[in-house]
């Protein structure tokens, strides 16, 4: 403890994102804060209003801002900020807090599923398409 505050315990992950087709980017609701929008605006050299309008949509039911999605060849749709060729975040340094905080556990359900399917099908490159 330092100054009465405990250090956060880092999560030791038991998976690799290297061969994942960006499953976490396919979540239908990726919530963004005003701070996230400001960070993205700076990254794209936009005003806050422009970034909010171009990159997010408002969910009236939950009363939150969500990242926009785009059609995808692997999943039905993915975050609009995903580079579909590399399957990596195109704004990694400016990514939203929810993405910065990931992983929040040491296991990824999708990774475990892929690992099982790859072993079961004897295909180390298997990617489950939805």
- For the stretch 76-92, pLDDT in tens is 999 999 999 999 999 99
Q: Residue 125 has which token pair?
A: 């490159």
Q: Which long-range contacts (CB under 8 A, 24 or more apart) does 53-57 make?
A: 55/80, 55/81, 56/32
Where exactly are the structural domains of the chain? 23-120
Q: What is the pLDDT of residues 98-130, one digit of tens each?
A: 998 877 777 777 778 877 888 888 887 776 554
pTM here is 0.76
């Amino acid at each position: 403890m330092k100054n009465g505050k405990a250090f956060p315990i880092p999560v030791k992950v038991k998976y690799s994102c290297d061969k994942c087709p960006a499953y976490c980017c396919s979540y239908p609701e990726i919530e963004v804060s005003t701070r996230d929008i400001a960070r993205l605006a700076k990254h794209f050299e936009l005003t806050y209003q422009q970034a909010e309008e171009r990159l997010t949509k408002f969910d009236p039911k939950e009363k939150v801002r969500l990242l926009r999605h785009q059609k995808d060849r692997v999943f039905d749709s993915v975050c609009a900020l995903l580079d579909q060729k590399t399957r990596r975040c195109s704004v990694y340094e400016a990514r939203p807090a929810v993405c910065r905080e990931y992983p929040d556990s040491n296991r990824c359900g999708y990774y475990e599923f892929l690992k099982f399917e790859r072993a079961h099908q004897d295909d180390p490159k298997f990617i489950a398409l939805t």
